[in-house]
A and B are shown apart, each in its own frame.
Chain A
Amino acid sequence: MALHYLDHAATTPMFAAAIEALVDELGHAGNPSALHRSGRLARAVVEDGREAIARALGAEPAEVVFTSGGTEADNLAIKGLWWSRTAEDPRRTRVVTSAVEHHAGLDSVRWIAERGATAIVLPVDREGVVNVDALRDEVAAHGDEIALVSVMGANNEVGAVQPVDEVVAVASSRGIPVHSDVVQAIGHIPFDFGRSGLATAAVSAHKFGGPVGVGALLARGNVDLTPLAHGGGQERKARSGTLNAAGVRAMSVAAVEAVGSMPSESSRLADLQRDLIAGVRALVPEAVLSGPEPGPRCLPGITHFVFPGCAPEAMLYVLDSRGVEASNGSACTAGVAQASHVLLAMGRTPSEAASTMRISLGHTSSREDVAALLEHLPEAVAKARSIGGGLRAVAPAAGGPGR
């Protein structure tokens, strides 16, 4: 059975050159912090990688802090900025973020909110785009009390590109640092850290053709980061742990390839996305596109639909058994599909938010992959609909005081 992988936003296959670089580098011993020859060679690999990644992302090499991935980078930025900014001025008790952040960002904000911060969650519109006016109001009313603003570059579920430039303009008018999770943006839309005005940005290698387990926080030199985990302080004294030379080298190869091919690749994916959306709408007229229509406000790789009344388990089963791999949303630890907080924030009902599918495209995606999805979608929808879907309203238990 041919596999049609349509879940690139979860992780995308590594570029062949990145695999080659990773495997080659794994054969070299040497701790980049050691002072002998092997150590120096390993350090050179890390620094070559750092420079290449910095160039690809519009950053200075000194602004690249390697981490284990996007989640750690988000945590380091949000908690680090919170601690250092409140230490500087204890009046800064507010943290502003959006309702559609990845959990790495959202839950970091919640965590500090449980420890004294006031979390301000900016609403989004029906397409998942952050309301900048709400930020303007917040900054106008409480500008001196805001420790940081965290708004992602593009949403990982529905693909909505966020108005980060406007967010930065509003926040920087009061000197407030902005963090952005740009994990989904790299290789799909232009990103230039230097021009962005961001204080920090989180990236993850495995979303653009590098390996899982390595990523980076881009952080301006004047941003004072507080460590999450303590140790050798290898990365700007803010991030400890032996430097992952092989991972960094593979990540740099992937970054160069992904960013270099971005202009042609994003237009190729945009064409596929248009076919995909037109095909889904023709086959399932009641399907509702969740994010913005294709164009500059939407990632070309991420397409998200609500299929009203469809049991998500049934759609997953039918498509998966035909070799079509798309995402029905996140699952809890036990494996049960959950209603997405992103869809709920966009004003969808819990039932709609549970009957969804994200089709995400990447560098290996082809017309055949889209065609395979469209071939099996009608059967998946028909069966999922006859089972009935989403989270149902719960009848109160007989005689009980309720749950």
Chain B
Amino acid sequence: MKVLAALSGGVDSAVAAARAVDAGHDVVGIHMALSRNRDEFRTGSRGCCSLEDSSDARRAADRLGIPYYVWDLSDEFEDRVVADFLSEYASGRTPNPCVRCNQHIKFEALLGRASTLGFEAVCTGHYARVALRDDGARELHRAIDTAKDQSYVLAVIGAERLSLAMFPLGEATSKAEVRAEAQARGLGVSQKPDSYDICFIADGDTQGFLQRRLGGRPGDIVDQAGTVVGSHGGAYAFTVGQRKGLRLGRPSADGEPRYVTEVRVDANEVVVGPEALLSVTRLEGDEVVWLAADEPAAVPRRCVVQVRAHGEPAPGRVTVAGGRMLVEFDAPMRGVAAGQAMVAYAGTRVLGQARVAAGSAP
């Protein structure tokens, strides 16, 4: 099979490509240039846009003996990921840019180019598994290594595009196994640190990035009663459930810590309150992608739902109707931010996902 291996310059994508080569595929390595600062040389903090990464990707391809090219997807990345990130924050939501990147860059722009050029699959270093059903459909499952599992950020690509995706690391038992394999294969990136930050925010300062790109918009932090208890530089930079960085002058009346309970972008107000106010039992989501055609949720069905990238899945009932996904949790959930993905699972299998639009209290 002709396989395009996306090589970020990290250890996971390099080992994934190596496994695709071993499986006998005709593999070509592609490094996506996503940053406009193409000559940026960054050490220490890892991202997916630096010169260091493109050179690591090139050396991995050399080692595997596969052709290597750099494709410029920086326009698409800016338009579909960075601009979305900004507009979501500006609307008071907290986006997950990795979801958008998988949705629009890796499994749309890159996959589209790959298909045009005759590739039959795109191979990435994601930790997730694809299972082929007897009826020919694909199921998306959590990785064997649940600590590294990335099915949460992949659900958005939908069932159809899974047939063109290849995740050779889904069966890996641990990152240590992948690193050991990289070392055994002589890949120079075997000990390269993992990336955790948002790749286009090199210094990790999301608030600073938002202020630079969206402009400062000072306003008030208020409590439930509307009393001003602090100030901020732009309501959009706050996330429901956030406790740090509020810099509230006075302690609360009950002495308990206060959390962001609501972000009112139109009024440019950040509302804080006790932890109890963060609880929600119902979540409504839009931008629904339902992968499991054989397991519809037209009527409420029991499953577990994950509402943040590294969060514990929680049991509840899911209904999909009218382009919306409704989740009723068995027990209250705390600190769910609008804009995040909520992903429904049956065991290890991904059923579907939606973008959190709104929550409501018990």
Contact = CB atoms under 8 A, between A and B. Distances in A.
Interface string B94-123: 000000000000000000110011000000
Contacts of B116: 314, 383, 386-387
Interface string A330-370: 01111111000000000000000000000000000000000
Contacts of B83: 395, 397-398, 400
B78 A334 contact: no
A23 to B, nearest CB: 26
A141 interface: no
A317 B69 contact: yes
Interface in B1-54: 28, 31, 33, 36, 38-39, 50-51, 54
Contacts of B112: 387
A318 B70 contact: no
Interface residues of B, number: 33
A331 B54 CA distance: 12
Interface string A315-330: 0111011000000000
B75 interface: yes
Centre residue among A317, A334, A337, A398 by max chain B CB count within 10 A: A334
Q: Is the interface of B mostly helix, strand, loop or mixed?
A: helix
A320 B67 contact: yes
A399 B86 contact: yes
Contacts, number: 80
A395 B82 CA distance: 12
A395 B79 contact: yes
B194 interface: no
Given A321-B67, A333-B39, A386-B116, A397 B72 contact: no
B86 A335 contact: no
A311 interface: yes
B39 A332 contact: yes
Centre residue among A391, A395, A397 by max chain B CB count within 10 A: A397
B3 to A, nearest CB: 13
Interface in B107-148: 112-113, 116-117
Interface residues of A, number: 28
A401 B215 contact: yes
A337 to B, nearest CB: 7
B67 to A, nearest CB: 7
Given A317-B69, A398-B87, A400-B86, A333 B51 contact: yes
A399 B70 contact: no
Contacts of B82: 397
Given A387-B113, A398-B86, A399-B214, A336 B70 contact: yes
Contacts of B79: 394-395
B69 A313 contact: yes
A334 B86 contact: no
Nearest to A400: B213
B90 A399 contact: yes
Given A313-B69, A317-B69, A336 B38 contact: yes
Contacts of A313: 69-72, 113
Centre residue among B28, B50, B71 by max chain A CB count within 10 A: B71
A397 B78 contact: yes
Given A336-B70, A397-B86, A318 B117 contact: yes
A314 B67 CA distance: 14
Interface of B: 28, 31, 33, 36, 38-39, 50-51, 54-55, 58, 67, 69-72, 74-75, 78-79, 82-84, 86-87, 90, 112-113, 116-117, 213-215
Interface of A: 311, 313-314, 316-318, 320-321, 331-337, 383, 386-387, 391-392, 394-395, 397-401, 403
Given A317-B69, A317-B117, A394-B79, 6 more contacts: A314-B113, A314-B117, A399-B86, A400-B83, A400-B86, A400-B213
8 contacts: A313-B113, A314-B116, A321-B28, A334-B55, A336-B70, A337-B72, A397-B78, A400-B215
